[in-house]
Structure formats: C-alpha cells, structure tokens
C-alpha cells in the first residue's frame, strides 16, 4: 500500500498524484502543513517538505525526482508502450531537463508566489506568516508566468507533447504547476494558444479528475478550473 504525504496545492505533490493516477496505483493521501513541523512527519523527512511517498514498511522516498524514478522502476512496465519514461537515453535526458525546469525554475519564479500568497497564507496563522497577499509579489509572478507560458507553448507547438512524441512525466510536471495557478484564475491562457490546447489535452485525462475536485476552504475555484472546454 502506498501512502503519500502531500498538500493539495503543493505542485510537487500534484505531480506525484498525477503520475500515480496514470499508473492506476491506489494510494492513501495524508495532508501535511509543512509549517506545522509535525514530529512524526519530520521523522520521515527532516527537511519537513512534501511530497514524501512510503510503500508498505519501506523507507520514505522524498522529493519529486526520487519518487518519479521509483514509480517508474516499480510500475512503469504496467503501461507498456505508454510508459511515461522515454526509451532512448537522449529523450530521457530531455524529459529530466524539462522536469527540472518546471519543478524548479517555473515553480520558484511563478507557482510558489501564487500558492503562498493566495492559498497558503489563508491556512497559516499570522504568527507564521499568514495574512493578506503581498500584491508586489503577485505582480512579479504575473509578469514571469507569461514567459513560461510562451516556452510551454513553443514546446507543445514544435512537438506532439512537451518533451517529445509521447506524453511523459514532463507533461505531468508542467501541468501540475499550472493547475495550482489555474485554480486562482492567474494563467493568461490567451497569451499562447498552443499552451492552452496542450493543457486541455492533459486536463482531460482521467488522472486529472482528482485534482479538479480539490478546493481551498474560503477560496472558490476559478470558473474554468474544472471546465475541460475552457
């Protein structure tokens, strides 16, 4: 049995949930608020960050990269020709490059700003930084997202999927990041039609349904969030 320690609006956690759903893996979700520094969770990951995956009585697997590799090595064969890990070493290298781009550069320049300012601050006590969003931070994120959206659009427009001819883990990583921002109606989809069409393809997959049911208490989802024809 798999157990995933996550936060519903952690983009990395969403990436893992998508990949597990694509593999039709049953998983128990345990929500963590990393600012609470829960001792039992720190025993699994001293860094106190999500996602963390545990299978049965095995050791904790920490972070999107190690979890991705573990899921592929233990379950990738079940997908046959639809395996999310490319066959060729060069294609795998390109996929891993893009996952690093989405999970670090896009996340650090865009997603984490929106998530922290508009979602996490609602959940955090004032003593730990909760409160109203910082509009100056949001302005920076709104500028940065346009550049990343155009890059995703260029990738999707020049390939069948973002890293090649087949859907891969890279598509799930990018979609997980954008899904957090899309909940907040902060993705300027009109800026790039290729990015919009690519996201609609990923968003329409059965694996995405679980994410589209997530809600933030006190903060309704954007009208297009669960709309597959947006």
Tens digit of each residue's pLDDT (9 = 90 or more) over 126-180: 998 999 999 999 999 999 999 999 999 999 999 999 999 999 999 999 999 999 9
Q: Quick check: bond before 64 cis, omega within 30?
A: no
pLDDT at 230 over 90: no
Dist CA 230 CA 108 (whole Å): 26
- Dihedral angle sign, alpha carbons of residues 172, 174, 179, 182: negative
State the total domains in the chain. 2
Q: 29: closest CA among 4, 2, 64, 9?
A: 4
Boundary (domain end) residue, out of 66, 82, 98? 82
Q: Is 226 helix (H, G, I), strand (E, B) or coil?
A: coil
Q: Which one is predicted more confidently, 118 or 128?
A: 118
Q: Which domain holds residue 23?
A: 2-82
Dist CA 177 CA 210 (whole Å): 15
Boundary (domain end) residue, out of 82, 99, 117? 82
Mean pLDDT of all residues in 89-114: 98
Flag whether 226 is in a domain: no
Q: What is the share, in percent, of the chain residues with pLDDT greater than 70?
A: 100
| Co-location of 105 and 199 in the same domain | yes
Mean pLDDT of all residues in 2-15: 98
| Co-location of 138 and 190 in the same domain | yes
Give 21-63 pLDDT, tens digit per residue. 999 999 999 999 999 999 999 999 999 999 999 999 999 999 9
When computed from its CA atoms, the radius of gyration of the chain, rounded to whole angstroms, is 17
Flag whether 130 is in a domain: yes
Residue 99 structure tokens: 């996952």
| Co-location of 112 and 175 in the same domain | yes
Phi, psi of 28 (to 5 degrees): -95, 125
* Ramachandran quadrant class, 154 (left: phi over 0; alpha: psi -120 to 50; beta: rest): alpha
Q: How confident is the model at residue 229 (pLDDT cuts 50, 70, 90)?
A: confident
CB of 85 within 8 A of CB of 168?
yes
Mean pLDDT of all residues in 200-216: 97
pLDDT of residue 212: 97
CATH number, position 32: 3.40.30.10
């Amino acid at each position: 049995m798999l157990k995933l320690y996550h936060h519903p609006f952690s983009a990395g956690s969403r990436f893992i949930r998508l990949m597990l759903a694509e593999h039709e893996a049953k998983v128990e979700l345990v929500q963590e608020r990393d600012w609470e520094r829960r001792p039992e969770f720190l025993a699994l990951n001293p860094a106190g960050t999500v996602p963390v995956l545990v299978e049965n009585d095995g050791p904790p697997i920490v972070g999107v990269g190690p979890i991705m590799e573990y899921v592929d090595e233990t379950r990738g064969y079940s997908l046959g020709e639809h395996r999310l890990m490319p066959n060729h070493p060069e294609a795998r290298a390109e996929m891993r490059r893009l996952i690093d781009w989405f999970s670090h550069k896009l996340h650090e320049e865009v997603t984490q700003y929106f998530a922290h300012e508009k979602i996490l601050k609602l959940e955090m006590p004032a003593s730990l930084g909760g409160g109203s969003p910082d509009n100056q931070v949001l302005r920076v994120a709104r500028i940065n997202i346009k550049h990343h959206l155009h890059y995703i659009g260029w990738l999707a427009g020049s390939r069948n999927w973002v890293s090649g001819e087949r859907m891969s883990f890279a598509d799930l990583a990018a979609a997980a990041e954008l899904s957090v921002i899309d909940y907040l109606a902060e993705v300027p989809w009109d800026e790039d039609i290729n990015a919009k069409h690519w996201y609609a393809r990923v968003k329409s997959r059965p694996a995405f349904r679980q994410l589209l049911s997530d809600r933030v208490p006190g903060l309704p989802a954007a009208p297009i969030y669960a709309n597959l024809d947006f």
